[in-house]
Structures are given as C-alpha cells and as structure tokens.
C-alpha cells in the first residue's frame, strides 16, 4: 500500500505523476502517462499497476480519466526505440505525456531513478508507483493503454499471440517469433529479435 500519499502537498503546485509501461517487451511501443490528480476527488485503490488485476486496472483507469484534473498518455514507437535505445525512448515518451497535459504542471514526480529533460522541475522517486497516488494513477493509465494497443496489434498479427503475452519475451512469444519470423512491430535492437535477423 502507499506509504506517503501526503508526502507531496499541493500548496500552490500543479503536481503530475509520471510512469511508463512496456520497457521489457520485444514488440509494440513503450507508453507513458502523466496525471494531475484532484485533491478534492481522491480515488480509492490506487497502487502500482503491476499489483492490480487487469479488470481492476480497467475500472481505475476510467475513474482516473473521470476525476483527474488532467491526464495524458503518449508513446514511442518500435522504430524510435530502435533508433534511440529503450531508455531514451522511455524518457521521450514521458516528456511527451507531460507536454500533452491540458494543465502545465509545476512539478513532475517520475517513477524510477532518473528524470527526462523537461522545461519544468522534476523529481525521481524509486518505487514511486506504490508511494505517490499521482504516480500510481500514471502507472495504471500507461499499463491499460499499452495493453489496449497490444490487443489492437493482435488483430493484425494474430500469429504471435500478443493478446496473451503483450509482447513480452515469454516462451510462447519466442516460439512464435521463430516460427513466423520478425514483424514490423518487433524491436529489432532487442537481442532475441536481432538474433533472428542475422
């Protein structure tokens, strides 16, 4: 459970939480979300999206979109990941998410140990997705958006069973990659994919 929901008071600040989803998969984009919560409308049950069921994430995502003061989801494509590397692509997706907010925040709280370069102040918080409500909300939006994107990709590329593993390097995904080869949605800079291209 979150330990420090009141750790960051609003006190004249517009504070957004920022998190990403999809750094590890072999296929699909990396997604990031930014959320400015409304202190007048707290949302019960916010926590690290990985600790929630898919059904619970979907319910919370709708509540976040309804009650947050502002929210934004952005991505970096497979091509951008291959060109920039996954760390830089993740930072870019986070910056795009923050820049996409309808309200310009004064402070961005970033899950993890580093911050993207932005025009506003930012602070990295390790395990922030389970400590700060706004980061938890961003974690949930990023994860649900990415899952939806992978379900859509599954309709075009059903042979890879993306609906089951969401692009992660599971035994099933690796087996289907060997069987069907590399598709445009695969990250060609990732070792298992790169090996098949040789």
With tokens 């298992």, the residue in question is 192
Gap between the Cα atoms of 30 and 168, Å rounded: 12
- Residue 38 annotated in ligand binding: no
| Chain centroid offset of residue 83 CA | 19
- Residue 48 annotated in ligand binding: no
- Residue 19 annotated in ligand binding: yes
Residue 50's CB: how many other CB atoms inside 10 A?
11
Find all residues with CB under 8 Å of 149, minimum gap 6, and list them: 28, 29, 31, 75
Gap between the Cα atoms of 83 and 44, Å rounded: 40
**Feature table: binding site:** 19-20, 111
**Feature table: binding site for a divalent metal cation:** 19-20, 111
């Amino acid at each position: 459970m979150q330990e420090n929901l009141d750790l960051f008071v609003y006190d004249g600040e517009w504070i957004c939480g920022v998190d990403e989803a999809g750094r590890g998969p072999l296929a699909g984009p990396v997604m990031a979300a930014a959320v400015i919560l409304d202190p007048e409308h707290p949302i019960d049950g916010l926590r690290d999206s990985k600790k929630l069921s898919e059904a619970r994430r979907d319910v919370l995502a709708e509540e976040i979109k309804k009650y947050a003061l502002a929210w934004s989801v952005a991505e970096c494509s497979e091509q951008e990941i291959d060109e920039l590397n996954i760390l830089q692509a993740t930072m870019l997706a986070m910056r795009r998410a923050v820049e996409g907010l309808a309200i310009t925040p004064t402070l961005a709280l970033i899950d993890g140990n580093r911050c993207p370069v932005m025009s506003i102040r930012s602070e990295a918080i390790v395990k922030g997705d389970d400590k700060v409500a706004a980061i938890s909300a961003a974690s949930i939006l990023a994860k649900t958006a990415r899952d939806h994107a992978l379900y859509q990709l599954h309709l075009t590329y059903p042979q890879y069973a993306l609906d089951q593993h969401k692009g992660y390097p599971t035994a099933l995904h690796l087996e289907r990659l060997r069987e069907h080869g590399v598709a445009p949605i695969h990250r060609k800079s990732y070792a298992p994919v790169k090996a098949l291209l040789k």
